[in-house]
Amino acid sequence: MKSSLQTSEPLIYSAVEALDKASSSLLRRQNADGYWWADLRADTTLESDYIMMELWLHPPVDGVWNPPTRPKIDRAVAAILARQLPDGGFNIYLNGPSEINASIKAYFALKVAGLVADDQRMQRLRDRILEMGGLQAANSYVRINLSLFDLFPRAACPSIPPEIILLPFNFIYQMSSWTRAIVIALAIVYARNPRRPVPAGFNLQELFLPGAPMLPERDLKSFSWRNCFLALDRFLKKWEKVSPGFIRRYALRKCEEWMITRFDGSDGLGAIYPSMQYAVMALDVLGYPASHPLRIEAEKQFNNLMVDNDARGFYMQPCFSPIWDTAIAAFALAETQNPPVDALRRTTDWILSKEVRRKGDWAVKRPNVEPSGWAFEFNNEFYPDVDDTAMVLLALKKTEASDPVRKSACAKRAVDWLLAMQGKDGGWAAFDVDNNWSVLSHVPFADHNAMLDPSCPDITGRVLEALIESGLKPSHPAVRRGVEFLLQVQEPDGSWYGRWGVNYIYGTFLALRGLRAAGLSENEPSIQQALEFIRAYQNPDGGWGESCASYDENRYMPNPSTPSQTAWALLALLAGGDMRSESLYNGIEYLIRTQRPDGTWDEDYCTGTGFPRVFYLAYVEYRNTFPLLALSTFVRAAESQEVN
C-alpha cells in the first residue's frame, strides 16, 4: 500500500498532462453556441423499428413493397446484420446474450426488407428465437406492433384502451412520464385496430413455437395482482365489443388533445423514440393526412433521430442529449486547474436560455410550484427532469454568465423546483413525485420494466450535492431527509443501486458524493463500507467495469474496464476521502495509460441505462467527460493535501 503523497508526485504530474489533453479535446468539440452534443447509441431494436415504421408509412401496392426510402432501409438492414451474434440472435448490450424481443424485431425487419427465409443468417436467427420461446415469448409491445400488421393475434395482446385517460385519481400520472407518453399515443392506434398491409405472402408463422401458450397463464389457486390484471384484460377485450361508442369516441378525443398539446415546445412527443413513433402512427389513424402540418412536423422530428453518413454509419438515436452532455462537460471543465472562462460563459448563457418556464406533467402533483428545471433534450418543455436540473445547477455554480442577475434568479428557481420535487420517502426520482404505485408493475403491458419512476439513489445523491453547492446547509430538512433515504437504501455489500447508469458503481459514486457534500464524515461505517465495495471489484488492469447483467442478477457483475466506469469508481473513492490507496493510484494510472494521443478515450460498452433489463445506452461523450472530471478531482485533492 502506498502511504506517502510523495510517491504519487509523478502520477499527479502525469494526471495534469492527461487532463490538459482531455480539456483541449473537449473544448474542440464545443458547439459555437456553447453547448456539447454527442451521439446516443443503443441496440438494433431502433433500426428494426425504423423499418417497421417505413412499412407503416409506405404500405405495399398490389402486394409489392417498394418504398421511396429503400436506400435507407438497405443501410438499416446492413446495420442490423453487422450486430448479429454467432448464435444467430441479437443482444441489447455489447457482449450480452441473445434477447428474445430484439431478435424477433430483427427477424421481422430483415424479412420484410427482403432477406429470404432460407438465408443462413435468417435460419440461425429463427432457430435462436424458437430456442428462446418463439413469438409467444415476446413482450407486450412487440406483440402489439406485430398485431398492427395482423402478424400476431390481437386477442393475445394486452389491451391498451384509450379510456385509460378517463380513469380517476389522475391514473395516467401514476405511470412514469415515458410510459404515459407512449401509452396515450399507442392507445389511439390500438383502438383503431388498423391491420396494416404487408407484402403478399408475408407472415411470421415460422416463429411460433408449437405447443407454447399464446396468453399468460393465471394461477387460479391464489390471489395476486397479476391474476387480477389478467382477468381485467380479458374483461376489457369483451368490453370493447359491447361498450357504448360515445365513450370510446370521447376517450379518443381526450387522448388526441392530450397528445397534441404536448407537441408544443417539444421536439416530438416526449422527445423520445417510442412515443414519437407512435405519435406519427396515431396522427395517421386519426385521419391527419401526410400534408398536415402536425403530421409533417411529427415525421420530421422522428427522422431527425437518424444518423446516416459515411463517417458514423447508419443508426437511430433514442433521443438527443445536449443539455445532459453540456452540463457534465461544463462541470468537468470548470473543475480543472485553469477552467476556460470565456468558453464556459457561452455555455452558461446557452444553458440559461434552455430553462423550462412552463408547467408540464410534473405540475399535476405540484400545481402551486413555479416552473423551472431543464430537460434532457434541446426542447421538451413538458418533461424537465430532476437529474438534468441538478447537473445543470452544479455546472452553473462553477461558471460565469454574461448576465449574473439572470443566472442567480434562474438558479434560485431551479433550487426551489428541486426542493418541491422531493418525494415522501426523502429521495428524488427523474420526472415525477411519488410515482411509485407498485401495483401498476403488474399491468399486462408493464413488461418493459419501466412503468414507474420511483426515487433512486443516483439521482438523490446528485441532487444533494447540487443543493449543498447551491447554498443549502446540511441541517436543511430536505437535505437531512435525502441523507436518510440514501442510508436506508444502501445495499448489504455497501453499494448503491444505479438506476440511470450501469449500475452499482454509478449509484455508489453519486450516493457518496451526495452524502459527503451533506456533511457525513468519511469515517462513517456506511462510507467506509462503500469504499471497500469499490476497491473489491477493481480489475487487474487498474480499471473498473460492470456488466449490464448486474440488473438481471441483482448483484455486481464484472466486465472489462471502461473509462467511464473507472472514472465513477475513482470519483467514489475520492468522495470517500481516499487519497492514498493503491486502488486509487492504479485507477488513475489506468486512465492515463489508456488515453489516446488526441486526449480522448475509447469505449464501446453501454454504461448508461434506459430501462433496466430492457434497454441500455451508450453515451458517446461519457468516455471523455467523466475521466476528465476524475482526473481533475484527483489533482485538486492532491494539491489540497500538499497545501495542508
**Active site positions, annotated:** 387
The residue with cell 470565456 is 342
The strands making up 615-619's β-sheet, listed across from edge to edge, are 40-41, 615-619, 608-611
What are the grid coordinates assigned to 560, written together?
Answer: 472489462
Please state, as a whole number, how many other Cβ atoms lie within 10 Å of the Cβ of residue 163.
Answer: 20
Give the residues across from 374 on adjacent strands: 385
The 3-state DSSP class for residue 374 equals strand
Mention every residue, 6+ apart, whose C-beta is less than 8 A from residue 241.
Answer: none
CA pair distance 168, 245, nearest whole angstrom? 20
CA distances for 147 relative to 84, 136, 198, angstroms? 25, 13, 12
Q: Where are the beta strands (DSSP E) in 27-173?
A: 40-41
Please state, as a whole number, how many other Cβ atoms lie within 10 Å of the Cβ of residue 626.
Answer: 29
What are the grid coordinates assigned to 126, written together?
Answer: 429463427
The 3-state DSSP class for residue 356 equals coil
What are the grid coordinates assigned to 501, written together?
Answer: 447508469
**Among the listed residues 52, 479, 124, the one whose alpha carbon sits nearest the alpha carbon of residue 281:** 52
Amino acid letter, residue 350:
W
User: Burial level of 310, CB count in 10 A (0-12/13-18/19+)?
Assistant: exposed
CA distances for 22 relative to 153, 423, 628, 631, angstroms? 54, 38, 6, 10
CA pair distance 206, 204, nearest whole angstrom? 5
3-state secondary structure 266-313: ECCHHHCHHHHHHHHHHHHHCCCCCCCHHHHHHHHHHHCCEEEECCCE
- Cα-Cα-Cα-Cα torsion 554, 558, 560, 561, nearest 10 degrees, comes to 90
